[in-house]
């Protein structure tokens, strides 16, 4: 078991160091002449007004909530799919019920216009 994950650990270190090393080498090679105008936020020709970190639409929270529900549903279904040949018909029925309940949730969100993008 550990044998299989050793490579992933090594790859995680290598994969993290590779972009960092690239940025490090670029830092040594590149010119550095910053000035306030150059470092200002990009805008279409005029100066930026205020921060970009503002309040935003609740729509994104709704989408994120629905996403979390369905993503967790899929994660639960993966072990079910792997054990599918060993489980009895009752477990399949339960999985179907699980999906149907969540489908009901999707229909509810749909009817409440949570999926409409205004």
Residue 41 binds other proteins, judged by CB under 8 A: yes
Q: Does 15 bind other proteins (CB under 8 A)?
A: yes
- Token pair in block for residue 112: 């409440």
Binding mask 44-83 for other proteins (x = CB under 8 A): x---x--xxxx-x---x--xx-xx--xx--xx-xx--xx-
Closest CB 67 distance from other proteins, rounded Å: 4
Under DSSP, is residue 33 helix (H, G, I), strand (E, B) or coil?
coil
77 contact partners, CB below 8 Å, separation of at least 6: 95, 98, 99
Size of the site for other proteins (CB under 8 A): 71
Asked if 90 is part of the footprint of other proteins (rule: CB under 8 A), the reply reads no
> CA–CA separation, 20 vs 27, rounded Å?
10
């Amino acid at each position: 078991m550990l044998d299989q994950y050793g490579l992933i650990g090594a790859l995680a270190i290598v994969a993290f160091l590779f972009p960092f090393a690239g940025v490090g080498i670029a830092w040594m090679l590149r010119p550095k002449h910053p000035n306030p105008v150059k470092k200002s936020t990009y805008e279409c020709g005029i100066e930026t007004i205020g921060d970009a970190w503002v309040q935003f639409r609740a729509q994104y929270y709704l989408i994120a909530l629905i996403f979390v529900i369905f993503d967790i549903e899929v994660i639960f279904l993966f072990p079910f799919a792997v054990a599918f040949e060993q489980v009895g018909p009752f477990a399949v029925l339960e999985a179907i019920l699980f999906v149907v309940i969540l489908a009901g949730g999707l229909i509810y969100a749909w009817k409440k216009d949570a999926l409409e993008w205004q």
